[in-house]
Structure 1
């Protein structure tokens, strides 16, 4: 559905050429939700604007539903853009227009007749849960309601693709969750493919099938959401994961531990999440498990459990216990020496 092939984007500045995006490749399959995460300045906003050619790539090709958008003349490009909806952090609503008109005006500009405009406005206001707000103005709405109007406006053109540019960054956590649930509903019920950018790991956690981690204009790690949360490899990815679950133990805690044994992170996914494996370890081997931290992360397509454990015992018994856990599908990571 969305394919970015070797995309690079350069800007000229007084200090020379700035490469905001460097040789990025992304493939979003139809009906999936993919997320691009990175810190400020990583290049993710530039990247998403390359998808609908609001920013024309310096190098590379953009394919939307099999059509190479980068080579199309402007009239044909407009046709492709009509199938791409976009929502923004700042909502971009007309302050002097009602909720109805904020959705209706773009449709009128596209040439739809009054009957079709009314049908679409009513349909998508119902989908976003704002059927009672037709005549309200943006200053009469909460932040979450404004974003719902912006989503309804994007949906009213009945796109095949929805781009989300930090759409929840200006919202409180509870409202963010409600908007993410709405995006999941849109994806599930309307079959719309979604590509979003964010700097919030909880957004990735709740709705994404696949994740790209960006740093300095490049994708430094990519994987399915469940694999990224269970086996992160890049330092930046691990930093993001640490914002929703404490992956690094305080050095003072490590220094207080008995030096015998091992400090290990256990990652449970799939069937292993429902088994009492730690209890079995203490029964089968001459080790004492001391649980230091634990959490469960619910993803769109599964559950990941993380436990940091201090296995106290002689080394051969500790090694045997860890092998037993690995043989039963538990991921292990040695944390000794972390500081």
Structure 2
């Protein structure tokens, strides 16, 4: 559906050159939600803007349904862009136009017949839950409602692909949750492929099928969300997934830990998160587990439980307990104490 092949982008500011993207390749399948995560300056905004050629790559190919956009003439590119909708962090609504007029404007510019414009605007405002707000102005709307207008505007062009450029980063947690639910419904009910970028791990966890991790202009890791989330390989990915804020052990707690034993993190996937493994190892082995931190994250397709525990006991017994946990498909990772 969407394929970026060896895409690089270099900006020149005076005599200085900045490599925003470095030989990035990725493929997004039809009907999936693919997310790219990265910290500020990683290159993710440039990457998504290359997907519809708002930024033209310095090198590489950008293909939609096998057609390389970089090879198209202006008229052909304009027509192909009709398949690609886009929503932004700051909504980009016309403040002097009503909700109806904001959604209708791109259709008017594309010379869609008047009766069809009305049908589409009404249809997509209903889908985003704003059919009763069509005659009000953006200033009268909340941030979440403004983003829903922006989504309706993109959907009204009936695209095959929806690009989302940090669409929830300006919203509060509750509003973010409702927008993510809307995007999931758009993907499922309308079959629209969604390509999004974000710096929020929760967004990736909740709605994406696959994820790519950007760092200094490079795609350093990608895969299914559950694989990347539970078995991160690149150090940058580990910063997102195992942000030490969750697994930091205060010095006062460290001093209270027994010298005999090991500090480990446990990751449980799906139904395994409901199993009483810690109770089992206390019965099977001469070890005492102490829970220091933990929680359960809900991914799009599954749940992932994480615990930080100290296993107190003889080294051999602790090793046997760890081997038992691994045999039960629990991921065990040593944590420096």
Q: Secondary structure at the match of 1:266?
A: strand
Partner in structure 1 of residue 141 of structure 2 = 141
Residues 242/335 of structure 1: CA separation in 2 closer, same or farther (3 Å cut): closer
Q: Structure 2: 5+ residue runs without aligned partners? A: none
TM-superposed deviation, 1:15: 4.1
**Aligned-pair Cα RMSD in Å:** 1.3
Tell me how far 1:320 sits from its aligned partner: 0.5
CA contact (8 A) 1:245 1:295 kept: no
Per-residue CA deviations over 1:257-311 (Å, capped at 9, x if unaligned) read: 1110111101001342232111111101111111111100000011000011111
What TM-score, normalized to structure 2? 0.97
Q: Corresponding residue for 1:51?
A: 51
* Displacement after TM superposition at 1:25 (Å): 1.0
- Corresponding residue for residue 113 of structure 1: 113
Residues 201 and 243 in structure 1, CA contact (< 8 A), matched pair in contact too: no
Q: Aligned residue for 1:156? A: 156
Unaligned runs of 5+ in 1: none
Which residue of the partner structure matches residue 165 of structure 1?
Answer: 165
Give the paired residue count. 337
CA distance in 2, matches of 1:193, 1:150: 17
Say yes or no: does 1:80 pair with 2:67. no
Q: CA deviation at 1:245?
A: 7.1
For residues 135 and 292 of structure 1, what CA distance do their matches in structure 2 show?
A: 54
Matching residue of 2:282: 282
Separation in 1, partners of 2:290, 2:8:
49
CA offsets 1:92-146 (integer angstroms, 9 cap, x no match): 0111111001011110111111110000000000000001011001111111100
Matched with 1:3 is 3
Instruction: After TM superposition, give the deviation of residue 236 of structure 1 in Å.
Output: 2.1
The CA deviation at 1:58 is 0.6
Q: Matches of 2:237 and 2:259 in 1, distance apart?
A: 29
Taking the TM superposition and a 5 Å limit, the aligned residue runs for 1:244-259 are 246-259=246-259
Query: Alpha-carbon deviation of 1:80?
Result: 1.1
Structure 2 equivalent of residue 229 of structure 1? 229
3-state SS, counterpart of residue 247 of structure 2: coil
1:294 corresponding residue in structure 2: 294
Is the Cα–Cα contact under 8 Å of residues 201 and 244 in structure 1 kept in the other structure?
A: no
Please give the alpha-carbon distance, in whole angstroms, between the structure 2 residues aligned to 1:272 and 1:134.
47
Deviation at 1:213, TM superposition (A): 1.1
The alignment partner of 1:181 has SS state of: helix
Quickly say closer, same or farther: Cα 1:244–1:98, change in 2 above 3 A.
Answer: farther
Q: How does 1:185-196 map to 2 (within 5 A)?
A: 185-196=185-196
Q: Distance in 1 between matches of 2:73 and 2:113?
A: 27
Q: TM-score scaled to structure 1, two decimals?
A: 0.97
Alignment correspondent of 2:129: 129
How far residue 248 of structure 1 moved from its aligned partner, in angstroms, is 3.3
The corresponding residue for 2:92 is: 92
> Offset of 1:37 from its aligned partner?
0.9
Distance in 2 (alpha carbons) for counterparts of 1:212 and 1:63:
18
Partner of 1:240: 240
In the other structure, the counterpart of 2:305 is: 305
